[in-house]
Structure 1
Amino acid sequence: MDLIGYSITFFVSWWIILFMVLPLGVKTHHESDEEITDGVEVGSPVHANIKKKMVLNTIITVCFMIVVGLVDYFDLVSLKP
């Protein structure tokens, strides 16, 4: 795989892993027993911690890409007939 292939794989896997990481540790307004003001959706998160989740997402994606790179380098999985 060349640089473009790794870039595309990183980009796609980053977004897929993001949607797996986003719900981690979410506490909604309904679960927190706080006073809910007008205009606030009860299902919205109290603290989203987006920066922390983006960093975690990038670390997981880099680890995944290291595994993909090792599999590609050592030709552990061959897709050619």
Structure 2
Amino acid sequence: MTIVGGIVVFSITWMVVLFMVLPWGVRSQLEDENTEIEPGTVESAPVQPRILRKFAITTLVTALLFLAFWSTLEFDLIDYRALIEN
């Protein structure tokens, strides 16, 4: 795998994992008893979305998935070309 190919695979995987991680632990202003609804916002707006934490989790999970994919390519553990031909 080339460096550009690796960057593309990592980026696409990162985005997919991010969309899976984003809903984790989200509470709306309406659900949270300790928070008043901010004027000018909708009731469903999230309280403390912790986006940097989710970016870190996404990067860690993506790195593990990418490492697994790269190692199968590098060490010929799975022949992906044979899977595509069949």
- Using the aligned pairs only, state the percent identity: 30
Match of 2:10 in 1: 10
What does the per-residue CA deviation read over 1:39-81, in whole Å, with 9 as the maximum and x for residues that have no partner? 1111111001011111111001100110011110122133144
The alignment yields a C-alpha RMSD, in angstroms, of 1.3
Match of 2:80 in 1: 78
Structure 2 portions without partners, runs of 5+: none
Structure 2 residue identity aligned to 1:5: G
The runs of at least 4 consecutive aligned structure 1 residues that moved more than 6 Å come to none
What does the per-residue CA deviation read over 1:11-37, in whole Å, with 9 as the maximum and x for residues that have no partner? 111111111111101011111133223
- Count the aligned residue pairs: 81
- Structure having the higher strand fraction is 2
- Give the TM-score taking structure 1 as reference length: 0.89
Structure 1 portions without partners, runs of 5+: none
